[in-house]
Structure 1
Amino acid sequence: MKAIVLTQYGSPDDLELKDIETPTPNDDEVLVKVQATSVNDWDWCLVRGSPFYIRLLCGWRKPNIQIPGAEVAGRVTAVGPNVTQFQPEDAVYGDISECGFGGFAEYVCVPETALALMPERMAFTEAAAIPHAAMLAVQGLMDVGQLQPGQKLLINGAGGGVGTLGVQIARAIGVKDVTGVDRASKFALMRSVGFTHTIDYTQTDFTTGQERYDLILDTKTNRSPFKYLQVLNPGGTYVTVGGLTPRLFQVLLFEPMIRWFTQKTVRLVNLQPNKDLAYVNELFAAGQLKPAIDGPYHLSEVPRLIQYFGAGQHQGKVIITLNPHRTHP
């Protein structure tokens, strides 16, 4: 099979498209023929070996993960003897970041617990855009942020996967006032998926503005947590799903003090992969959620696409298809 292979930390240009042996599923695994996958922050960090915790998790001197790729959508081609949830020909998708990655390949072996059945009428390219970003959005907005109908929401980094799915999830809850912060080149997409207000971060610092919000969902976290408090309403909440490592540590460190002295909350999402896929499937079936897709592109373009993702130029989710002639199950 063909796969994008990672042999050393460094630049996305070091990735190679190679022919390697097709894996065989273990007792509790399924073999998935990958139809579509996506580029995520995991891939950007893994390829570079940065920030430092990546090397703690994935090998200090060289990566112990051979094939990046955290999300897959495809069709089951074989199952291990202990698998009970799936059978060959099932269309499945999921976030596989906690079971070895491997999405940038024609086939991948995955524990059955990391996959879910794709709903009817969902394309493989759409399915590959959902698991990681949608779980961050749902868990950030609902589980941690406790978003309520009628509240005022701001999403920072709004033109990527989490933001474009998050605004649709918020509107499904009953939130009508949603501000998105990103570069102006993404505004047309952001408005098309439901943002009512847009802020160009290259021109305006939203933390110094006059508007106040009940909830801020941040995908970029590049400021001190105290800066965000200035634009939160009394009792408001700031939730981060990712960003600069020192700033994330500050959120964890100062969370109790901020709550005690300000009655406002700052929180970091501890992602539970695939936990809310059933809920997201319901939104999709009801026509309340549709992923914004950048692409689809070819597997051979992955090195360039990871650099493109890291530069923050993408709109929605960067999708790679491994079968351009077949997008639906």
Structure 2
Amino acid sequence: MKAIVHHTYGPAGLLELREVERPRPADDEALVRVHAAGIDRGVLHFMTGLPYPLRLAGNGIRTPKSPYLGRELAGVVEEVGSKVTDLRPGDEVFGIGEGTFAEHACAKAAKLAPKPVNLTFPQAAALGVSGLTALQGLRDHGRIEPGRHVLITGASGGVGTFAVQLAAAFGAEVTAVCRTSKTDLVHSLGADHVIDHTREDLLGAQGKHRYDVILDLAGNPSLSRLRHALTPKGTAVIGGGETSGRWLGGYDRQLRASLLNPFVAQQLKSYICTEKREDLLVLKELCEAGKLTPSIDRTYPLAETAAALQHLEQGRARGKLVVVPLAPTTP
């Protein structure tokens, strides 16, 4: 099979398309013929090996432990492990696997769910990591409720485009932050108000507005600015805002938020998305109910994966980018 490989950390230009051996599923895994693979920002970290603690976490100190990249996928099950009882060959699925920039990839059965019937494979592939990150940030950490005033930074990105739709579906009044060229997209997703951060203060009119919940996905605002934009009992959920720092890459802000949180009335939270089927099924139901639609900027053939990652790194994407190893079929 064909797959994208990288044997050293570095820029997207080092990625290669090669013929490699097809993987075999473990007892609790399924082998999926990949029809589409979503790109989330985490791929950039695994590609570059930055920030450095990522390498210490088991991904390889000097060189990548695994040469394969990509986690979000949608496709058709071809084989299942001996302990998998709820999937069978021929099932159309989406979710999270390993090495999904390839014609085949393995995934834990517990991280796969039936593909939403009204979505194409590229749309379904965009849901995995980014959809879960948006859902859990708002629902579990932001405790979003109808009528609450919610601000979403990075609203035009992969996670942000899901977050805007989810916040609107939960009945919140949504203010979204993005750049000029993307305001039309964010409005179309259901935002009540849009702040163009190239023309206005990132958190809105120099702090004149107060929000019950801020889902901070981009821009790296200071904790003091986040707190100033919150209501006295509001919650800021930090889910992004990476910097180019080689050691912490912006995660120092999340650490400081955790240290400060016990001493203030507002809630300052950070989180890492939990990859579980139960929430993939929630996303499936929302999509089939017409409340959530993945926003795809563009798709790329497998051979152009490097170009897709460069497009994401440059901040030009409007929504999600998707790699299509195989020609998608009609759902």
Which residue in 1 is equivalent to 2:175?
179
Aligned-pair CA distance for 1:88: 0.4
Distance 1:206 1:126 in 2: 30
Distance 1:49 1:256 in 2: 26
Matches within 5 A, 1:90-239: 90-96=91-97, 101-175=98-172, 177-207=173-203, 208-220=206-218, 222-239=220-237
Which residue in 2 is equivalent to 1:252?
255
Question: What SS does structure 2 have at the residue aligned with 1:281?
Answer: helix
Distance 1:254 1:114 in 2: 30
Aligned-pair CA distance for 1:254: 3.9
* Corresponding letter in the other structure for 2:101: F
Which residue in 1 is equivalent to 2:298?
295
* Corresponding letter in the other structure for 1:237: T
1:242 corresponds to 2:240? yes
- What is the percentage of aligned positions where both structures have the same residue? 39
Which residue in 2 is equivalent to 1:43?
43
* Corresponding letter in the other structure for 2:35: Q
- Compared with structure 1, are the counterparts of its residues 247 and 9 closer, same or farther at alpha carbon in structure 2 (3 Å cutoff)? closer
Unaligned 5+ runs, structure 1: none
Q: Deviations over 1:128-163 (max 9, x none)?
A: 011111111111101010011111111100001211
Matches within 5 A, 1:285-324: 285-324=288-327
Unaligned 5+ runs, structure 2: 243-247
Question: What SS does structure 2 have at the residue aligned with 1:230?
Answer: helix
Distance 2:260 2:207 in 1: 24
Distance 2:81 2:254 in 1: 42
- Compared with structure 1, are the counterparts of its residues 258 and 31 closer, same or farther at alpha carbon in structure 2 (3 Å cutoff)? closer
Q: Match for 2:282 among 276, 279, 284?
A: 279
- Compared with structure 1, are the counterparts of its residues 110 and 258 closer, same or farther at alpha carbon in structure 2 (3 Å cutoff)? closer
* Corresponding letter in the other structure for 1:252: L
Distance 2:14 2:260 in 1: 44
Contact 1:165 1:289 in 2 (8 A): yes
* Corresponding letter in the other structure for 2:108: P
Aligned-pair CA distance for 1:273: 1.0
Aligned-pair CA distance for 1:221: 5.4
Which deviates further from its counterpart, 78-87 or 31-40? 78-87
* Corresponding letter in the other structure for 1:76: V
Distance 1:211 1:327 in 2: 46
Q: Deviations over 1:287-307 (max 9, x none)?
A: 111010011221111101111
Distance 2:117 2:287 in 1: 10
* Corresponding letter in the other structure for 2:27: D
* Corresponding letter in the other structure for 1:269: Y
- Compared with structure 1, are the counterparts of its residues 247 and 67 closer, same or farther at alpha carbon in structure 2 (3 Å cutoff)? closer
Segments ≥4 residues shifted beyond 6 Å: none
Q: Deviations over 1:65-109 (max 9, x none)?
A: 21100101000111122211110000111123xxxx201000012
Which deviates further from its counterpart, 315-324 or 249-258? 249-258
Contact 1:68 1:102 in 2 (8 A): yes
* Corresponding letter in the other structure for 1:103: T
* Corresponding letter in the other structure for 1:183: R
Which residue in 1 is equivalent to 2:72?
71
Question: What SS does structure 1 have at the residue aligned with 2:308?
Answer: helix
Question: What SS does structure 2 have at the residue aligned with 1:158?
Answer: coil
* Corresponding letter in the other structure for 1:235: K
Question: What SS does structure 2 have at the residue aligned with 1:294?
Answer: strand
Distance 2:9 2:250 in 1: 24
Contact 1:33 1:77 in 2 (8 A): yes
Question: What SS does structure 2 have at the residue aligned with 1:206?
Answer: coil
Which deviates further from its counterpart, 1-10 or 208-217? 208-217
Question: What SS does structure 1 have at the residue aligned with 2:241?
Answer: coil
TM-score by length of 2: 0.93
